[in-house]
Structure 1
């Protein structure tokens, strides 16, 4: 028998409802999934017309000094510290942009909307954002466009017409394939897993999970998805939720996915404290600094992500290009400073690139 973790809170336990042995994903936006081929080959991308928004007086700020505010989901965590650093690097390189980061203390959409509304009133020239809710944030972003403010999203999207461009860190089905393949390699094609995410409606995580379900059904139909639980991008709640999953499923759980840069190290810590590193595998999205102790200790093989510094950098570069008119609806690529030429997909999404795998061979080479 596996040893069981014993530390969990009643509040965390209450968030996990008893369900069927194999969960069916019901979160997200309900959009159709597009699982990638099981053989690892790339999908063919169809050409999609521009579907982003248009700011009032488009082009009026070409070449001018810009005042830009970056509003991430929340501040004070390593991931968004890294995106903010990238924004500052781009501002310094450009020389004609003043950029500040100001986000809510918790991943709260109401607080995020209030912040953006306040900056619209104060008269900024540009807004960068990572949405806590794609639908709820859309009206205030449309208000920004109507005020002639350039709006670019990154990391977590809004409704397309509520912003001009979105920097997609990696396509949803690409992330999904990487995660499921790593889990299958760790627990086998008939293993059982659970997921710790932020909320069922957080746009990027919900889409990743939807694509994970589609890819798993297509390529690993004998794997069992036990449950998905919410943890609000909160470290303590993520730890408690992972602990509760370990207690609830005991020998039946072989792996835990972490869908946030908070949930993955928290799950790794729960597995470490429970003494289950050999029997429960943690796979997920996380920053290398957060996962380095678990990778170096051998409890976690790797972590999957992109470079969030580059993500913030690309977001400001794209906003500057949109303001200057060097990036226009219908373009298929955009020049993004040190990142070179980035591909435009899905009408108005700038693709940062393939997900990156941090493991024992390279995790020391990164500091974010």
Structure 2
């Protein structure tokens, strides 16, 4: 059964990608700050402080198994913004004007494009871009450090910054479109292979797994389960209660199998379990555990629900249809001998 609250494969990939990206960026930022602390004439102490903070962030992302990524995002953005503004502010006092802060600005906005949604990336680009563009002019208004050449140089640099941020905004938009389309594709794919009522694999998915089982060299066994007197449950208690019974049985089946086993809704009140690498006798033990668990499990409104089960192990050169038909024959044997029991093909009943 699939948990709708569990993260999708795309979301899991994004989280893993973000963590690796932040580790790489924080380590690179630490190296840049280390070089600045050793060789910068403008602000070595600021580089040293920032480098220490970036190193701490990198260690946090590396050492802890489940780091708080949103918090790491906020801290690293704050550090990068602080370093950028400090560099741009102090850069006006150097001749020629030192605008190395724009490289940090470009790094931070590029990181936002890679890691954030389009709206958040756009917010970061606009905020940091605005602060980056206005800071040198604001500092000059306070200290009157620019000459005509400095202003021309700053304007030319800021034109390039604006062009780069425009390109980043476009890349962020295209990335968002791709992510949205991929997420939608995965949702449709899951719907195509999942039974909407129980959350189990549907018949189409189960048929695919049966065909895949034929390609493997090891023995596989199927268990076909049919809820006894299910029509009378619907007639007596209503279809909503019948649906709850189906969901309850699905949850119980999911708890009683291994992670490698396949549990699917075959149709109506029938469920099909595919047990790879399992011989007939081991599969009968699994079927008995399911049979006993159903007998011991009280269902709300209905009370006790029983089921008949048929078990069949795949035989050499046998088709999927013949394999499932033998499990169906074993199930029929359980029905004919009184229901609420397990039978196997070749016939043996318990």
Q: TM-score scaled to structure 2, two decimals?
A: 0.23
Q: TM-score scaled to structure 1, two decimals?
A: 0.22
Larger radius of gyration: 2
More helix per residue: 1 or 2? 2
